[in-house]
Amino acid sequence: MRALQHITLAASLGLVTLFGAGHQASAQIKIGSILAVTGPASFLGDPEKKTLQIYVDEINAKGGVNGQKLELTVYDDAANANKARTFATRLVEEDKVVAVIGPSTTGSTLAIMPVFEDAHIPLISLAGAVQIIRPVRKWVFKTPHTDTMACEKIFADLKRRHLTQVALISGTGGFGKSMSSECHKVAGKVGIKIMTEETYGPRDSDMTPQLTKIRDTPGVQAVVNPGFGQGPAIVTRNYRQVGIKVPLYESHGVCSKQYIKLAGAAADGVRLPCAALLIADKLPANDPQKPVVVNYARTFQKATGQPVSTFGGHAYDGLMILVDAMKRAKSSDPAKVRDAIEQTKGYIGTGGIVNMSPTDHLGLTLSAFHMLEIKGGDWTLVPGT
Amino acid sequence: MAELLQFVFSGLTVGAIYALVGLGFTLIYNASDIINFAQGEFVMLGGMTTVFLAAAGLPLPVAALIAIAVTTGVGLALHRLAIEPARGSSPVALIMITIGASIFLRGSAQIVFDKRFHSLPPLFGNDPIHFGGATILPQSLVVLAGAAVIVVLLWLFIERTVLGKAVVATAANRLAARLIGINTRRIVDFSFAVSAAIGAVAGILIAPITLTSYDVGTLLALKGFAAAMLGGIGSAGGAVVGGLLLGMIEAFTAGYISSNYKDAVAFLIILIVLVAMPQGLFGRAKIERV
């Protein structure tokens, strides 16, 4: 009798041990994300969320990271900084995540950065503004190009064409404002003179008065339009309507086929700086980014039936940089992961080739942007850029 | 001179859009004293439904007609399901309901359609008409003509038909209207349906200029409402004059002062007008007869 009891006890102990061990092996790495899936910036958050889900599933199907599956929690802040802050606290205190990807917008990112600085959890933002990484904060990284870089790229192209006097027509939304002020800062340094600046509201439906004024300003050799959404498409149409002949430059904010579709024939001849993702099939075969962008574009289009946008690409880069860091750190400990993210070198993503350092938490150079010109309703690479 | 003319054309373009949207507020207000804040969503539904039906392969005129029918149905449903059950509540409560309906419609559109911008092809091509050194798109004239046709039809309807008189009677005194045999519920039903149809027509005509998306209605409704208030709410002619005036003020401020202040100046002028003339430019003061 006693012997039997011993055996049962031993067996159950064994079972417990087995279970415990099993549990340990399949423990999940919790990562969080705050994205603007709905609301005014949903065109950012929507492809970002889809991208994260597609690739987290794919990584898990292949066995996860360091033998552990990823568990993704996505919250929708609808581009509202207050909501983002609530979700940030929830991710840290309740979900106990080891790293966070997002938010989609600059406003939300700036609002939640302190939460992650305090909690010592790495945050990889998908928002544009340069303030996120300048000054460098220990726990905050980002993947998208900055608007400063877009201005630099545009001005470099202008200088190549020997054009130095420009006019700005900027959207009054956050993106347009931020990029316009960065362009003002950059212009002085590279010898570009801003002759005049006009603005338009995010929902305006006619910009001909502003463009007429620009047309009648003497000495303007080119026009730059910082803005995103439907505004730039209307600016482009009105630009042809009032008959301005000098070159028009758009920002990286409208790097999507949708812009060409909305602006129609008026978009012909417009130049803009974009990431490699958009022109995946037009990249030369020896471009190091080619396999990555072609692959991502194919996967995203197959899974969602929608054309790729650079925004989904930012999320892809954020996730891959994080996973890569966890693999190199052989751990999902937030502090070790953070150190590994900072040591990212030569990661080839959709946005460019990333080389991070303690003083650069973005890691992209100007070469990440390609200067494109729209011809016959499609992108073409401007040679020599 | 060419510059001035260009500003006038811009004012006409934008003003015609505000006027067309503002017209939608008139009939519901006339029949029920309600300011329908879901009017912008009718505009959105007209444009977006046409875009998606056309993308599905329907010819554009058919798509447009179905879109108007669908939006009319939504307008009726709004009245039957949301406004009618709350009858007897104060106008403020009913206005709140229309705000709720507008959020609901916007959210549904986000799911049913998508979150991206779309455009419709203009009726007479994209080539601007040149006149005196300035340019205007043919579609702007189409919008203007659309607004004019709707004003005339509304005026004929209100002034020349029994049904129109019934609408006016319902607005003036619902109880008295019922006592003389007017089915007031039907009248309000009707006014929601027609306002929705006007909104849908506006949405379809302006889509080639403003572009359209699930949330295009919010700001358009705000500007359209401002236009209707400026002209005198309830007056169809007033909505058009208010809209054109608003468009002109914006265009001239952007052209001669600064594009930064165009909305501020427009709203400042509306404030001044409404302080001086609370009924708006063409609004009739309510006369209580004893």
* Domains of chain A, first to last: 29-146+289-365 (3.40.50.2300), 148-281+369-381 (3.40.50.2300)
Work out the pLDDT band at A22, boundaries 50, 70, 90.
very low
- Give the domain range for residue B73: 2-276
Work out the pLDDT band at A14, boundaries 50, 70, 90.
very low
pLDDT of A18 above 80: no
Distance of CA A271 to the CA centre of its chain: 20
Q: How far apart are CA A65 and CA A67, in angstroms?
A: 5
Indicate which of A205, A210, A213, A237 best probes the interface with B, i.e. most B CBs within 10 Å of its own CB.
Answer: A205
Residues of chain B with Cβ-Cβ distance to A198 below 8 Å are 254, 259
> B206 — contact with chain A (CB < 8 Å)?
yes
Query: Dihedral through CA A87, CA A92, CA A93, CA A97, nearest 10?
Result: 110
Query: Tens digits of per-residue pLDDT, A159-190?
Result: 999 999 999 999 987 778 889 999 999 999 99
Work out the pLDDT band at A84, boundaries 50, 70, 90.
very high
* Average pLDDT score over residue span A344-359: 93
Q: Select the more confidently predicted residue: A50 or A147.
A: A50
User: Could you tell me if residue B290 is inside a domain?
Assistant: no
Yes or no: say if B167 and B191 are a contact pair by the CB < 8 Å rule. yes
Cβ–Cβ pairs < 8 A, chains A and B: 83
Closest CA in chain A for residue B249: A209
CATH number at residue B64: 1.10.3470
> B19 — contact with chain A (CB < 8 Å)?
no
The number of folded domains in chain B is 1
Rounded to the nearest integer, the mean pLDDT of chain A is 89
Work out the pLDDT band at B277, boundaries 50, 70, 90.
confident
User: Could you tell me if residue B289 is inside a domain?
Assistant: no
Q: How far apart are CA B69 and CA B197, in angstroms?
A: 7
> A265 — contact with chain B (CB < 8 Å)?
yes
Cβ pair A172:B17 closer than 8 A: no
What are the tokens at A95? Answer: 């979900």
Q: How far apart are CA B4 and CA A51, in angstroms?
A: 50
User: Could you tell me if residue B36 is inside a domain?
Assistant: yes
Tell me how close the Cα of A211 comes to any Cα of chain B, in angstroms: 9
Query: Tens digits of per-residue pLDDT, A90-133?
Result: 999 999 999 999 899 888 999 999 999 999 999 999 998 888 99
Q: Select the more confidently predicted residue: B2 or A8.
A: B2
* Average pLDDT score over residue span B138-153: 92
pLDDT of A137 above 80: yes
Query: Tens digits of per-residue pLDDT, B75-84?
Result: 999 999 999 8
Q: How far apart are CA B275 and CA B263, in angstroms?
A: 18
pLDDT of A62 above 80: yes
pLDDT of B280 above 90: no
pLDDT of res. A7: 52
Query: Tens digits of per-residue pLDDT, A248-301?
Result: 999 988 888 888 988 989 999 999 998 888 888 888 888 899 999 999 999 999
Q: Select the more confidently predicted residue: A307 or B103.
A: B103
Work out the pLDDT band at B11, boundaries 50, 70, 90.
very high
pLDDT of A358 above 50: yes
Residues of chain A with Cβ-Cβ distance to B51 below 8 Å are none
pLDDT of A368 above 60: yes
Work out the pLDDT band at B124, boundaries 50, 70, 90.
confident
User: Could you tell me if residue B19 is inside a domain?
Assistant: yes
Residues of chain A with Cβ-Cβ distance to B17 below 8 Å are 205
Distance of CA B153 to the CA centre of its chain: 15
Q: How far apart are CA A256 and CA B88, in angstroms?
A: 50
User: Could you tell me if residue B143 is inside a domain?
Assistant: yes
User: Could you tell me if residue B284 is inside a domain?
Assistant: no
Indicate which of A197, A241, A257, A304 best probes the interface with B, i.e. most B CBs within 10 Å of its own CB.
Answer: A241
pLDDT of B205 above 90: yes
Q: How far apart are CA B170 and CA B34, in angstroms?
A: 12
> Which three-class secondary structure state does DSSP give residue B162?
helix
pLDDT of res. A116: 96
Q: Which sign, positive or negative, has the C-alpha torsion A119, A121, A125, A131?
A: positive
pLDDT of res. A6: 57
Q: How far apart are CA B99 and CA B35, in angstroms?
A: 10
Cβ pair B110:A198 closer than 8 A: no
User: Could you tell me if residue B283 is inside a domain?
Assistant: no
Rounded to the nearest integer, the mean pLDDT of chain B is 89
One-letter amino acid identity for B8? V
pLDDT of A13 above 50: no
Rounded to 5°, angle at Cα A336 from A334 and A342: 100
> B254 — contact with chain A (CB < 8 Å)?
yes
User: Could you tell me if residue B286 is inside a domain?
Assistant: no
